[in-house]
Amino acid sequence: MSNSDNVVGAVLLAAGRSERFGPENKLLAAIDGRPVVRRAARTLLAASLDDRIAVVGHDAAAVGKALPEGFTIRYNDRYREGQHTSVRAGTAVARKAGWDGALFALGDMPAVDPTTVDALLKSFAEGTGSVVVPTESGSRGNPVLFGASHFDALAEVTGDRGGRALIAACPGVVRVPVDDTGIHRDVDRPEDLNSVRE
């Protein structure tokens, strides 16, 4: 059943310590003059989302300053415990705001195309499933859209696998094929910056 009245917001996870990157925060590393996290955020601004929040933690002030306008900033004071605490913080905001779905995006993935996000939103609005994931060349990537029916489970996730275990266990996952290699390309190490340049 289609529901074009769904309210879907985005949660940009941008609280991590980027320990594998070295002394610099990878989210603040520049690609063609713009920080990685700003590029990731601009994808969400260009998509047809109803709301957008960013969960920050490590280097919170600098990361917040690097974000474009259009995001509500939520500070996660437990970010040192792992990504799951940011998922929980974002889920709490989504639930309080009454969203019908929450799209979780990663701050270290600056090459995702906005059309990919819109494809996930379209699939969710058509009622095809309660979890919607993009795939490219048959392989699942990010971001991932969770319907509100999963908010309780997301609020209980543990470990840095975030919602991946939930996706694996959920029978209602819809895979949306997209022509976007950006769904696989994240920045973990300095050499990764070259692979995500436009």
Q: In total, how many domains does the chain have?
A: 1
94 domain residue, yes or no: yes
Q: Name the strand (E) or helix (H) holding 56.
A: strand 51-56
Q: Measured between alpha carbons, how far is 39 from 151 in angstroms, rounded to an integer?
A: 27
Query: What is the average per-residue pLDDT within 74-98?
Result: 93
| Domain range enclosing 63 | 8-195
Determine the pLDDT at residue 172.
76
Q: What is the pLDDT of residue 161?
A: 57
Length of the chain counted residue by residue: 198
Q: Tell me, what CATH number does 188's domain have?
A: 3.90.550.10
Classify residue 29: in a domain, yes or no.
Answer: yes
Q: Is residue 144 within 8 Å of residue 131, measured between CB atoms?
A: yes
Inside any domain, residue 41:
yes
Given pLDDT bands bounded at 50, 70 and 90, which one contains residue 23? confident
Q: Which amino acid is residue 141, in one-letter code?
A: G
What's phi and psi for 72, nearest 5 deg? -90, 130
Phi, psi of 9 (to 5 degrees): -110, 165
Q: Is residue 62 part of a domain?
A: yes
- 112 in any annotated domain: yes
pLDDT in tens, 110-135: 999 999 999 999 999 998 889 999 99
For range 50-56, the mean pLDDT: 98
Handedness of CA 119, 28, 87, 55 (dihedral sign): negative
pLDDT at position 4 over 80: no
Residue 75: inside a domain = yes
Task: Give the whole-angstrom CA distance, residue 175 versus residue 123.
Answer: 9
Q: How far apart are CA 96 and CA 161, in angstroms?
A: 24
How much is the pLDDT for 2? 44
Beta strands of 59-156 (E only): which ranges?
72-75, 101-106, 131-136, 139-140, 144-147
- Whether the per-residue pLDDT at 196 is higher than 80: the answer is no
Assess whether pLDDT exceeds 90 at residue 24. Answer: no
Examine residue 1 and state whether it is found in any structural domain, yes or no.
Answer: no
Q: Which residues pair with 35 in a beta bridge?
A: 30
**How far does the chain reach from its first CA to its final CA, in angstroms?**
38
Phi and psi at residue 92, to the nearest 5°: -60, -40
| Whole-structure pTM value | 0.93
Q: What is the pLDDT of residue 100?
A: 97
| 15-24, 33-42, 75-84: least confident range | 15-24
Task: Give a yes or no: residue 3 inside a domain.
Answer: no
**pLDDT value at 3 more than 60:** no
